[in-house]
Amino acid sequence: MSQVPVTVLTGYLGAGKTTLLNRILTENHGRKYAVVINEFGELGIDNDIVVGTDEEIFEMNNGCICCTVRGDLIRVIGGLMKRPGTLDGIIVETTGLADPGPVAQTFFQDDEVRNRTRLDAIVTVIDARHFLLHVDDGAEAREQAAFADVILLNKTDLVSPQELVRVESRLRQINPYARLHRTQKSAVALAEILDRHAFDLKRILEIEPDFLEAGHDHLHDHDHEHCDDPTHDHHHHHDHGHDHLENIGSVSLTSDKPIDDQKFQRWISTILREFGTEIFRSKGILDISGAPKKYVFQGVHMMMDGDWGNPWKDGEKRMSKLVFIGRKLDAEQLRRGFAACATR
Protein backbone atom coordinates (compact mmCIF):
# COMPACT_ATOMS: atom_id res chain seq x y z
CA MET A 1 0.00 0.00 0.00
CA SER A 2 1.46 3.35 -1.02
CA GLN A 3 1.76 5.97 1.69
CA VAL A 4 0.83 9.63 1.16
CA PRO A 5 3.64 12.00 2.17
CA VAL A 6 2.77 14.55 4.85
CA THR A 7 4.63 17.85 5.26
CA VAL A 8 4.19 19.73 8.55
CA LEU A 9 4.70 23.49 8.24
CA THR A 10 5.48 25.08 11.57
CA GLY A 11 7.12 28.22 12.91
CA TYR A 12 6.42 30.98 15.41
CA LEU A 13 3.67 33.59 15.05
CA GLY A 14 4.12 35.69 11.92
CA ALA A 15 7.18 33.83 10.64
CA GLY A 16 5.75 33.35 7.13
CA LYS A 17 4.07 29.92 7.18
CA THR A 18 0.97 31.00 5.26
CA THR A 19 3.13 32.83 2.71
CA LEU A 20 5.02 29.57 2.18
CA LEU A 21 1.76 27.65 1.91
CA ASN A 22 0.52 30.07 -0.75
CA ARG A 23 3.75 29.57 -2.69
CA ILE A 24 3.24 25.81 -2.60
CA LEU A 25 -0.36 26.05 -3.75
CA THR A 26 0.28 28.50 -6.60
CA GLU A 27 3.31 26.79 -8.13
CA ASN A 28 2.60 25.00 -11.40
CA HIS A 29 3.60 21.57 -10.07
CA GLY A 30 0.65 19.55 -11.36
CA ARG A 31 0.23 17.78 -8.02
CA LYS A 32 -2.87 17.48 -5.85
CA TYR A 33 -2.53 18.35 -2.18
CA ALA A 34 -4.94 18.44 0.73
CA VAL A 35 -4.26 21.21 3.25
CA VAL A 36 -5.04 21.21 6.98
CA ILE A 37 -4.84 24.60 8.70
CA ASN A 38 -4.89 25.05 12.47
CA GLU A 39 -5.08 28.54 14.01
CA PHE A 40 -4.60 29.78 17.55
CA GLY A 41 -7.42 32.31 17.67
CA GLU A 42 -10.97 31.08 17.52
CA LEU A 43 -11.65 33.03 14.36
CA GLY A 44 -10.09 31.51 11.25
CA ILE A 45 -8.18 34.09 9.22
CA ASP A 46 -5.62 32.01 7.34
CA ASN A 47 -8.27 30.19 5.33
CA ASP A 48 -9.20 33.56 3.78
CA ILE A 49 -5.56 34.48 3.26
CA VAL A 50 -4.73 31.24 1.46
CA VAL A 51 -5.11 31.80 -2.25
CA GLY A 52 -8.02 30.25 -4.09
CA THR A 53 -6.91 26.92 -5.56
CA ASP A 54 -8.36 23.54 -6.38
CA GLU A 55 -6.86 22.09 -3.20
CA GLU A 56 -9.18 21.08 -0.39
CA ILE A 57 -8.58 23.06 2.78
CA PHE A 58 -9.62 21.80 6.21
CA GLU A 59 -9.75 24.40 8.95
CA MET A 60 -9.36 23.55 12.65
CA ASN A 61 -9.86 26.59 14.88
CA ASN A 62 -11.26 25.19 18.10
CA GLY A 63 -7.98 24.45 19.78
CA CYS A 64 -4.33 23.80 19.21
CA ILE A 65 -3.34 20.96 16.91
CA CYS A 66 -0.64 19.86 19.35
CA CYS A 67 -3.12 19.19 22.13
CA THR A 68 -6.90 19.57 22.11
CA VAL A 69 -7.59 18.93 18.43
CA ARG A 70 -5.17 16.06 17.77
CA GLY A 71 -8.20 13.82 17.50
CA ASP A 72 -9.61 16.13 14.83
CA LEU A 73 -6.36 15.82 12.87
CA ILE A 74 -6.60 12.02 12.99
CA ARG A 75 -10.20 12.17 11.82
CA VAL A 76 -9.38 14.56 8.97
CA ILE A 77 -6.44 12.44 7.81
CA GLY A 78 -8.48 9.26 8.16
CA GLY A 79 -11.33 10.77 6.14
CA LEU A 80 -8.95 11.84 3.39
CA MET A 81 -7.56 8.31 3.11
CA LYS A 82 -11.05 6.88 2.54
CA ARG A 83 -11.82 9.16 -0.39
CA PRO A 84 -11.56 7.95 -3.96
CA GLY A 85 -8.77 9.37 -6.07
CA THR A 86 -5.12 9.91 -5.38
CA LEU A 87 -3.50 12.58 -3.28
CA ASP A 88 0.10 13.54 -3.98
CA GLY A 89 0.54 14.88 -0.48
CA ILE A 90 -0.96 16.41 2.65
CA ILE A 91 0.27 19.71 4.08
CA VAL A 92 -0.44 20.51 7.74
CA GLU A 93 0.06 24.13 8.83
CA THR A 94 0.24 24.38 12.62
CA THR A 95 -0.49 27.38 14.81
CA GLY A 96 2.43 29.64 15.61
CA LEU A 97 2.41 28.32 19.18
CA ALA A 98 2.28 24.62 18.38
CA ASP A 99 4.85 22.11 19.53
CA PRO A 100 5.48 19.99 16.43
CA GLY A 101 6.38 16.95 18.53
CA PRO A 102 2.82 15.80 19.30
CA VAL A 103 1.81 16.56 15.70
CA ALA A 104 4.59 14.28 14.48
CA GLN A 105 3.54 11.63 17.00
CA THR A 106 0.13 11.48 15.36
CA PHE A 107 1.68 9.83 12.31
CA PHE A 108 3.24 7.03 14.38
CA GLN A 109 0.74 6.31 17.13
CA ASP A 110 -2.52 5.94 15.19
CA ASP A 111 -2.54 2.68 13.24
CA GLU A 112 -4.65 3.84 10.29
CA VAL A 113 -2.74 7.11 9.89
CA ARG A 114 0.61 5.30 10.23
CA ASN A 115 -0.30 2.72 7.58
CA ARG A 116 -1.66 5.17 5.02
CA THR A 117 0.63 8.18 5.42
CA ARG A 118 4.34 8.93 5.72
CA LEU A 119 5.66 11.95 7.64
CA ASP A 120 7.94 13.37 4.98
CA ALA A 121 9.39 16.42 6.72
CA ILE A 122 8.86 19.05 9.39
CA VAL A 123 9.54 22.40 7.73
CA THR A 124 10.06 25.24 10.20
CA VAL A 125 9.88 28.88 9.14
CA ILE A 126 11.97 31.18 11.33
CA ASP A 127 11.44 34.95 11.50
CA ALA A 128 15.01 36.29 11.41
CA ARG A 129 13.83 39.64 12.82
CA HIS A 130 12.06 38.31 15.93
CA PHE A 131 13.43 34.80 16.61
CA LEU A 132 15.91 35.85 19.29
CA LEU A 133 13.14 37.86 20.97
CA HIS A 134 11.00 34.76 21.52
CA VAL A 135 13.35 31.79 21.62
CA ASP A 136 13.70 31.96 25.40
CA ASP A 137 10.06 32.92 26.10
CA GLY A 138 8.84 29.34 26.21
CA ALA A 139 9.49 25.92 24.76
CA GLU A 140 7.58 26.37 21.50
CA ALA A 141 10.05 28.40 19.46
CA ARG A 142 12.92 26.12 20.49
CA GLU A 143 11.00 22.92 19.81
CA GLN A 144 9.87 24.17 16.42
CA ALA A 145 13.54 24.66 15.55
CA ALA A 146 14.67 21.43 17.23
CA PHE A 147 12.17 19.21 15.40
CA ALA A 148 12.83 20.76 11.98
CA ASP A 149 14.15 18.69 9.12
CA VAL A 150 14.24 21.81 6.97
CA ILE A 151 14.57 25.38 8.29
CA LEU A 152 13.63 28.46 6.29
CA LEU A 153 15.46 31.37 7.92
CA ASN A 154 12.99 33.91 6.59
CA LYS A 155 12.80 37.73 6.42
CA THR A 156 16.57 37.94 6.05
CA ASP A 157 16.10 41.31 4.35
CA LEU A 158 14.87 42.78 7.67
CA VAL A 159 18.06 42.18 9.65
CA SER A 160 21.71 43.17 9.31
CA PRO A 161 24.33 40.59 8.26
CA GLN A 162 25.61 40.57 11.85
CA GLU A 163 22.13 39.89 13.25
CA LEU A 164 21.64 37.12 10.69
CA VAL A 165 24.83 35.42 11.86
CA ARG A 166 23.66 35.60 15.50
CA VAL A 167 20.27 34.08 14.63
CA GLU A 168 21.83 31.33 12.54
CA SER A 169 24.33 30.55 15.28
CA ARG A 170 21.53 30.15 17.85
CA LEU A 171 19.59 27.96 15.45
CA ARG A 172 22.61 25.73 14.96
CA GLN A 173 22.99 25.39 18.72
CA ILE A 174 19.41 24.10 18.86
CA ASN A 175 19.47 22.03 15.66
CA PRO A 176 22.78 21.43 13.86
CA TYR A 177 21.26 18.84 11.52
CA ALA A 178 18.43 20.56 9.63
CA ARG A 179 19.01 21.79 6.12
CA LEU A 180 18.83 25.59 6.35
CA HIS A 181 17.77 28.01 3.61
CA ARG A 182 17.97 31.78 3.95
CA THR A 183 14.80 33.22 2.41
CA GLN A 184 12.80 36.38 1.85
CA LYS A 185 9.01 36.15 1.69
CA SER A 186 9.38 32.36 2.16
CA ALA A 187 10.73 31.97 -1.38
CA VAL A 188 12.30 28.54 -1.75
CA ALA A 189 12.31 25.88 -4.46
CA LEU A 190 9.55 23.39 -3.68
CA ALA A 191 11.95 20.52 -4.27
CA GLU A 192 13.77 21.69 -1.12
CA ILE A 193 10.73 21.23 1.13
CA LEU A 194 8.36 18.68 -0.45
CA ASP A 195 8.87 14.93 -0.89
CA ARG A 196 12.24 15.17 0.83
CA HIS A 197 12.07 11.86 2.80
CA ALA A 198 13.73 13.98 5.44
CA PHE A 199 11.96 13.13 8.71
CA ASP A 200 14.54 11.38 10.85
CA LEU A 201 12.91 9.31 13.59
CA LYS A 202 16.31 8.28 14.99
CA ARG A 203 17.25 11.92 15.59
CA ILE A 204 13.87 12.68 17.19
CA LEU A 205 14.31 9.74 19.58
CA GLU A 206 17.61 11.27 20.64
CA ILE A 207 15.71 14.50 21.52
CA GLU A 208 12.71 12.75 23.11
CA PRO A 209 13.47 9.08 23.89
CA ASP A 210 9.81 8.34 24.75
CA PHE A 211 8.51 9.91 21.54
CA LEU A 212 6.82 6.68 20.38
CA GLU A 213 5.32 5.76 23.72
CA ALA A 214 1.55 6.05 23.94
CA GLY A 215 0.48 8.77 26.31
CA HIS A 216 3.72 10.69 25.97
CA ASP A 217 3.01 14.36 25.69
CA HIS A 218 5.11 17.36 24.80
CA LEU A 219 7.50 19.05 27.13
CA HIS A 220 5.60 22.19 28.03
CA ASP A 221 2.40 22.71 29.93
CA HIS A 222 -0.41 24.83 28.73
CA ASP A 223 -4.15 24.93 29.05
CA HIS A 224 -7.06 26.49 27.29
CA GLU A 225 -9.68 28.74 28.71
CA HIS A 226 -12.53 30.11 26.65
CA CYS A 227 -14.25 33.33 27.54
CA ASP A 228 -17.82 32.87 28.74
CA ASP A 229 -18.53 36.52 29.31
CA PRO A 230 -22.33 36.76 29.00
CA THR A 231 -22.05 40.42 28.00
CA HIS A 232 -20.56 39.58 24.61
CA ASP A 233 -22.48 41.02 21.71
CA HIS A 234 -22.48 38.14 19.27
CA HIS A 235 -24.37 40.03 16.63
CA HIS A 236 -21.81 42.76 16.12
CA HIS A 237 -18.55 42.21 17.98
CA HIS A 238 -17.19 39.57 20.30
CA ASP A 239 -13.89 38.61 21.82
CA HIS A 240 -12.43 35.47 23.33
CA GLY A 241 -9.67 34.84 25.81
CA HIS A 242 -7.54 31.80 24.97
CA ASP A 243 -4.60 31.00 27.23
CA HIS A 244 -1.74 29.01 25.76
CA LEU A 245 1.61 29.72 27.33
CA GLU A 246 1.92 31.52 30.64
CA ASN A 247 0.30 34.82 29.72
CA ILE A 248 -0.14 34.50 25.99
CA GLY A 249 -3.70 34.75 24.77
CA SER A 250 -5.77 35.88 21.84
CA VAL A 251 -8.55 38.37 21.26
CA SER A 252 -10.83 37.82 18.27
CA LEU A 253 -13.09 40.61 17.03
CA THR A 254 -15.75 40.81 14.35
CA SER A 255 -17.89 43.54 12.85
CA ASP A 256 -20.79 43.27 10.44
CA LYS A 257 -20.56 46.99 9.69
CA PRO A 258 -18.19 48.22 6.95
CA ILE A 259 -14.87 49.55 8.24
CA ASP A 260 -13.67 53.11 7.57
CA ASP A 261 -10.19 52.63 6.09
CA GLN A 262 -8.69 55.86 7.44
CA LYS A 263 -10.06 55.31 10.95
CA PHE A 264 -8.72 51.75 10.96
CA GLN A 265 -5.25 52.73 9.76
CA ARG A 266 -4.98 55.45 12.42
CA TRP A 267 -6.22 53.14 15.17
CA ILE A 268 -4.13 50.06 14.30
CA SER A 269 -1.01 52.20 13.84
CA THR A 270 -1.50 53.68 17.31
CA ILE A 271 -2.25 50.30 18.92
CA LEU A 272 0.82 48.60 17.43
CA ARG A 273 3.07 51.58 18.17
CA GLU A 274 2.00 51.66 21.84
CA PHE A 275 1.52 47.95 22.53
CA GLY A 276 3.44 46.21 19.74
CA THR A 277 5.99 44.72 22.13
CA GLU A 278 3.19 42.70 23.74
CA ILE A 279 1.16 42.06 20.57
CA PHE A 280 3.12 39.26 18.89
CA ARG A 281 0.77 38.79 15.95
CA SER A 282 -2.23 40.56 14.46
CA LYS A 283 -4.11 39.64 11.33
CA GLY A 284 -7.50 40.18 9.81
CA ILE A 285 -9.85 40.21 6.86
CA LEU A 286 -11.65 43.54 6.62
CA ASP A 287 -14.74 44.75 4.82
CA ILE A 288 -13.57 48.24 3.88
CA SER A 289 -16.47 50.53 3.09
CA GLY A 290 -17.13 50.69 -0.64
CA ALA A 291 -14.32 48.29 -1.59
CA PRO A 292 -15.08 45.36 -3.92
CA LYS A 293 -12.24 43.25 -2.46
CA LYS A 294 -11.37 41.94 0.99
CA TYR A 295 -8.59 43.84 2.73
CA VAL A 296 -5.98 41.49 4.21
CA PHE A 297 -4.19 42.96 7.23
CA GLN A 298 -1.08 41.40 8.78
CA GLY A 299 1.10 42.54 11.67
CA VAL A 300 4.08 41.15 13.59
CA HIS A 301 4.82 43.21 16.69
CA MET A 302 5.06 46.84 15.47
CA MET A 303 5.42 45.92 11.82
CA MET A 304 2.24 45.91 9.77
CA ASP A 305 1.23 45.39 6.18
CA GLY A 306 -1.95 45.17 4.19
CA ASP A 307 -3.13 44.40 0.69
CA TRP A 308 -6.26 43.71 -1.24
CA GLY A 309 -7.25 40.04 -1.38
CA ASN A 310 -9.99 38.15 -3.15
CA PRO A 311 -13.15 39.99 -4.21
CA TRP A 312 -16.32 39.55 -2.18
CA LYS A 313 -18.46 36.95 -3.91
CA ASP A 314 -22.05 37.54 -4.90
CA GLY A 315 -24.23 36.61 -1.94
CA GLU A 316 -21.28 36.29 0.44
CA LYS A 317 -21.89 37.89 3.84
CA ARG A 318 -19.54 40.85 4.19
CA MET A 319 -17.99 41.04 7.61
CA SER A 320 -14.65 41.90 9.19
CA LYS A 321 -12.53 39.61 11.36
CA LEU A 322 -9.50 40.70 13.35
CA VAL A 323 -7.32 38.60 15.68
CA PHE A 324 -4.63 39.71 18.14
CA ILE A 325 -2.24 37.22 19.76
CA GLY A 326 0.06 38.34 22.50
CA ARG A 327 0.61 39.00 26.17
CA LYS A 328 -1.43 41.20 28.54
CA LEU A 329 -3.98 42.00 25.83
CA ASP A 330 -6.66 44.47 26.91
CA ALA A 331 -9.65 42.87 25.20
CA GLU A 332 -12.11 45.62 26.10
CA GLN A 333 -9.83 48.39 24.83
CA LEU A 334 -9.28 46.51 21.55
CA ARG A 335 -13.00 45.84 21.19
CA ARG A 336 -13.92 49.49 21.73
CA GLY A 337 -11.22 50.71 19.36
CA PHE A 338 -12.20 48.33 16.57
CA ALA A 339 -15.89 49.16 17.01
CA ALA A 340 -15.06 52.86 16.57
CA CYS A 341 -13.55 52.09 13.15
CA ALA A 342 -16.93 51.00 11.77
CA THR A 343 -18.89 53.35 9.57
CA ARG A 344 -21.89 54.92 11.22
What are the tens digits of pLDDT across the range 166-182?
Answer: 999 999 999 998 999 99
Say whether 98 sits in a helix, a strand or coil: coil
Q: What percentage of the chain reaches a pLDDT higher than 70?
A: 82
pTM of the model: 0.78
Q: What's residue 27's pLDDT? A: 86
- Burial state string for 208-230 with b = 16 or more CB within 10 A and e = fewer than 16: beebeeeeeebebebeeeeeeee
Partners of 121 in the β-ladder: 7
Contact (CB, 8 A) for 12 and 127? yes
- Say how far residue 72 (Cα) sits from the centre of its chain: 17
The two beta strands, 4-11 and 89-93, are parallel
How far apart CA 209 and CA 26 sit, in angstroms, is 38
Res 56 pLDDT > 50: yes
Mean pLDDT of 245-260: 86
Terminal Cα-to-Cα distance of the chain (whole angstroms): 60
pLDDT at 138: 76
pLDDT tens digits for range 317-341: 999 999 998 888 999 999 999 999 9
User: β-strands 56-60, 33-38: how paired?
Assistant: parallel
From the list 318, 280, 285, 321, the residue with the least C-alpha distance to 301 is 280
Query: Helix and strand tally (H, E) in the chain?
Result: 11, 12
The rounded distance, in Å, linking the Cα atoms of 72 and 189 is 31
What's residue 308's pLDDT? 92
Alpha helices in 41-92 (DSSP H): 46-49, 70-82
Which residues, including other chains, have CB under 8 Å from residue 165's CB and lie 6 or more apart?
none
pLDDT of residue 69: 61
Q: Tens digits of per-residue pLDDT, 16-55?
A: 998 999 899 888 888 888 898 887 765 666 666 665 556 6
Give residue 140's pLDDT band: very low, low, confident or very high (50, 70, 90). Answer: confident
Q: Are 74 and 58 in contact (CB under 8 A)?
A: no
For residue 92, the cross-strand partners are: 8, 36
Mean pLDDT of 77-101: 86
